[in-house]
């Protein structure tokens, strides 16, 4: 091993960004540490080297600027492999965990290479950081800037989307595999993919051992600035950077935006029993919220909590978001357990948190979408009150109320109507528009849509936690049999319920999000917490696309209708009042008899009349009036069309009780509404009519 100091001729001043910065003379390595007594840079020749080939010592007199350590190393460049190593006080009671033996990942590393190596001396040897050249020929690519009201989100896992042998792609489970499936995404009509975590995370043990349960989902960050190397087709160090950019560019060329699920609430270093990999060994008390003694506050449920509103950490998060927007052209972010970002350094929820306000106001992020999972694992639940108009939220109330309604829970028709109309109870009083509500019925966390109508209970034994993990209150039903069945009546009802929920989601005001595979009945065999299942339980089975082609057609047609129909994606809340005397209200609700709804009753059958937007809200004149007849009861019901609606030329669009192809008419040119104004709607179904233009 060689020891060297920087050459005197290179002891000049560069600007102080962070991480590894390429210059003509070499590479500048910059890292923050307030309490380190000394700092070293470890350089490696190969990704599997247990020991560095060179060690560069920072000169504390010339290589330290305040709390920033900076050194320029000559004759190195892109592809260089490195770690940091810091000496300093070890005093857990005061939050100081310096360990001069620890190999530390650069918090600003743009790529990692290799794996955790076996340890023969108790020292954790994590993947190496890679010096990355950011150049990429984007060929004029820019953010797509789709309007949020025009957005349909498809949540997906990069690996799981194409890992199954049934995918038939050349590069399964990779960024390049996603590119191969873009024609399918485009055929569905979705406008954005929301990728489950793609920043680097560990998949094995910290000492190189194979774990019985792998980290499949990726909600365990190791390096915030680095794309996950496990999703690259090429094993070359840093090549994941190129492949990720290729994926984004290809998606943009297809008109599809890229939203990243980012996890700034915790890291994989865990609690006081976890390893020192990066932040702990550089400035533990800055990067994490500490508890009494040598413990960590745990608002994430994962052992530690990132101290997001500390100025140093806040700066890092900003640099990270800007990095992904500027260098990778991503179009937005979904913030996992975002309520943690509302907590101050002591863990208290505060109004107008500096971090959230700054993200909303940041000029480089101005044309991106920012979405919050507005709760955390410590009881904070901020759905409806997270941030300002700039922030959208995963609407957990929408998920729960729609599940209850179609499960036929008593008294849920009022909540159903409120969610369909945009959740004004959550957002309007705060002056926020309907698009602040990201509507979803399923997500990666919980049952798939198929399993929601096939299981009453979770079946997580394969996770190895004695079925104790995962949510127990799923608001689900199996409709007569737990799990797969050959009973035709049960299967028909399940598919009808899937159609009902897809229709509800895509007819609701707000922004819809669909989980990958819900359009073709992807199943996780009743596992509602498949975080560790990197296998057929989680992977997209592409045989289902053909097997359930009629359902895919139904979903595709609904998505295309929504994206072309301004009536069901309003920029402002509906009022329930006419714009002029004698005209129809913009939204009105009726009982099946065509009379006023008894909102205090228990009847789960409703008529919804949605009037086409006024010309000032629909200058192209694309809007059409929509009539929804909703029957969630267990019996067929006769509906009497309200007299105010009978004068319009209605044509059938969907009937979820019908078999394909009569369940949906792509041109909304199905049968006309009966002249009698009376129509029988089958049990647990939706019939929709659209007015002719």
State how far Cα 188 lies from the chain centre.
Answer: 19
- Does residue 414 sit in helix, strand or coil? helix
Cβ contact 100:87 at 8 Å: yes
- Does residue 626 sit in helix, strand or coil? strand
**Which residue bears the tokens 């010096």?**
131
Cβ contact 60:7 at 8 Å: no
Catalytic residue at 373? yes
Instruction: Please identify which of the residues 261, 336, 393, 655 carries the catalytic annotation.
Output: 336
Question: Within the chain, how many helices (H) and strands (E) appear?
Answer: 14, 29
| Region of residue 379 (left: phi > 0; alpha: psi -120 to 50; beta: else) | left
- Which residues, listed in sequence order, are joined to residue 514 by a DSSP beta bridge? 154
State how far Cα 413 lies from the chain centre.
Answer: 29
Q: Dihedral of CA 356/360/362/367: which sign? A: positive
Q: Please name the helix (run of DSSP H) or strand (run of DSSP E) that holds residue 55, with its range, or none.
A: strand 54-57
- Does residue 561 sit in helix, strand or coil? helix
- Which residues, listed in sequence order, are joined to residue 68 by a DSSP beta bridge? 32, 65
Count CA atoms within 13 Å of residue 623 on its CB side: 17
Cβ within 8 Å of residue 310, ≥6 positions away: 286, 287, 345
Catalytic residue at 336? yes
| Structure token digits, residue 210 | 């194979």
Count CA atoms within 13 Å of residue 224 on its CB side: 23
Q: Please name the helix (run of DSSP H) or strand (run of DSSP E) that holds residue 420, with its range, or none.
A: helix 413-420
Cβ contact 620:657 at 8 Å: no
Closest CA to 118 of 211, 210, 208: 208
**Which residue bears the tokens 């997209």?**
540
Most distant CA pair in the chain, distance? 93
| Region of residue 375 (left: phi > 0; alpha: psi -120 to 50; beta: else) | beta
Using CA atoms, how far apart are residues 19 and 31, in angstroms rounded to an integer? 6
Using CA atoms, how far apart are residues 456 and 477, in angstroms rounded to an integer? 5
Using CA atoms, how far apart are residues 496 and 449, in angstroms rounded to an integer? 12
Instruction: Please identify which of the residues 261, 373, 477, 663 carries the catalytic annotation.
Output: 373
Using CA atoms, how far apart are residues 426 and 432, in angstroms rounded to an integer? 9
State how far Cα 4 lies from the chain centre.
Answer: 45
Which residues are catalytic, by number?
336, 373
């Amino acid at each position: 091993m060689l020891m060297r100091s920087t050459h005197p001729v290179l002891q000049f001043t560069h600007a102080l960004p962070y991480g590894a910065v390429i210059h003509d003379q070499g590479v500048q390595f910059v890292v923050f540490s307030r309490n380190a007594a000394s700092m070293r840079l470890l350089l490696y020749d190969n990704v599997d080297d247990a020991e560095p080939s060179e060690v560069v010592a920072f000169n504390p007199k010339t290589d330290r600027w305040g709390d920033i350590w900076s050194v320029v190393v000559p004759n190195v460049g892109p592809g260089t492999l490195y770690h940091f190593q810091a000496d300093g006080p070890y005093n857990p009671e005061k939050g100081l965990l310096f360990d001069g033996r620890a190999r530390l990942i650069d918090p600003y590393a743009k790529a990692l290479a290799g794996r955790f190596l076996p340890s023969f001396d108790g020292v954790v040897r994590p993947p190496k950081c890679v010096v990355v050249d950011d150049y990429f020929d984007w060929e004029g690519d820019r953010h797509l800037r789709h309007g949020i009201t025009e957005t349909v989100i498809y949540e997906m896992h990069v690996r799981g989307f194409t890992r199954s042998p049934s995918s038939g792609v050349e590069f399964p489970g990779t960024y390049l595999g996603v590119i191969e499936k873009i024609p399918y995404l485009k055929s569905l009509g979705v406008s954005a993919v929301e990728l489950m975590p793609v920043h680097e995370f560990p998949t094995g043990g910290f000492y190189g051992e194979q774990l019985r349960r792998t980290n499949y989902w990726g909600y365990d960050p190791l390096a915030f600035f680095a794309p996950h190397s496990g999703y690259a087709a090429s094993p070359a160090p840093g090549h994941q950077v190129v492949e990720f950019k290729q994926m984004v560019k290809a998606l943009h060329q297809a008109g599809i935006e890229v939203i990243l699920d980012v996890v700034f609430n915790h890291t994989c270093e865990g609690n006081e029993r976890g390893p020192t990999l990066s932040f702990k060994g550089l400035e533990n008390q800055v990067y994490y919220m500490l508890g009494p003694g040598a413990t960590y506050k745990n608002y994430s449920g994962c052992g530690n909590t990132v101290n997001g509103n500390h100025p140093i950490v806040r700066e890092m998060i900003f640099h990270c978001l800007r990095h992904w927007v500027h260098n990778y052209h991503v179009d937005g972010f979904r913030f996992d357990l975002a309520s943690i970002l509302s907590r101050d350094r002591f863990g208290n929820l505060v109004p107008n948190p500096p971090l959230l306000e700054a993200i909303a106001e940041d000029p480089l992020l101005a044309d991106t979408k920012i979405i919050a999972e507005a709760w955390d694992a410590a009881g904070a639940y901020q759905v409806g009150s997270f941030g300002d108009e700039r922030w959208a939220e995963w609407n957990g109330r929408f998920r729960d109320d729609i599940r209850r309604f179609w499960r036929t829970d008593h008294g849920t028709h009022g909540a159903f109507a409120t969610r369909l109309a945009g959740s004004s109870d959550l957002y309007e009083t705060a002056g926020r528009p309907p698009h602040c509500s990201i509507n979803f019925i399923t997500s990666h966390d919980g049952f798939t849509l198929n399993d929601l109508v096939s299981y009453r209970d979770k079946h997580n034994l394969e996770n190895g936690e004695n079925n104790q993990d995962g949510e127990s209150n799923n608001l689900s039903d199996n409709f007569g049999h737990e799990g797969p069945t050959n009973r035709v009546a049960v299967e028909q009802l399940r598919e009808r319920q899937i159609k009902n929920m897809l229709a509800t989601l895509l007819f609701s005001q707000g922004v819809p999000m669909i989980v990958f595979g819900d359009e073709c009945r992807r199943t996780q065999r009743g596992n509602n917490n498949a975080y560790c299942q990197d296998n057929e339980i989680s992977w997209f089975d592409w045989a289902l696309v053909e097997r359930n082609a009629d359902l895919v057609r139904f979903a595709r047609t609904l998505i295309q209708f929504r994206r072309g129909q301004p009536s069901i994606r309003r920029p402002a809340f509906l009022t329930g009042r006419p714009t002029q005397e004698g005209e129809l209200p913009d939204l009105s609700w009726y009982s099946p008899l065509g009379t006023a709804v008894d909102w205090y009753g228990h009847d789960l059958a409703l008529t919804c009349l949605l009037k086409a937007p006024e010309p000032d809200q629909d200058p192209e004149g694309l809007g059409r009036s929509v009539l929804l007849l909703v029957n969630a009861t267990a019996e067929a019901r006769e509906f009497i069309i309200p007299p105010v609606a009978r004068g319009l030329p209605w044509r059938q669009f969907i009937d979820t009780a019908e078999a394909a192809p009569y369940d949906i008419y792509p041109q909304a040119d199905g049968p006309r509404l009966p002249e009698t104004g009376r129509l029988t709607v089958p049990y647990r179904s939706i019939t929709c009519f659209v007015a002719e233009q």
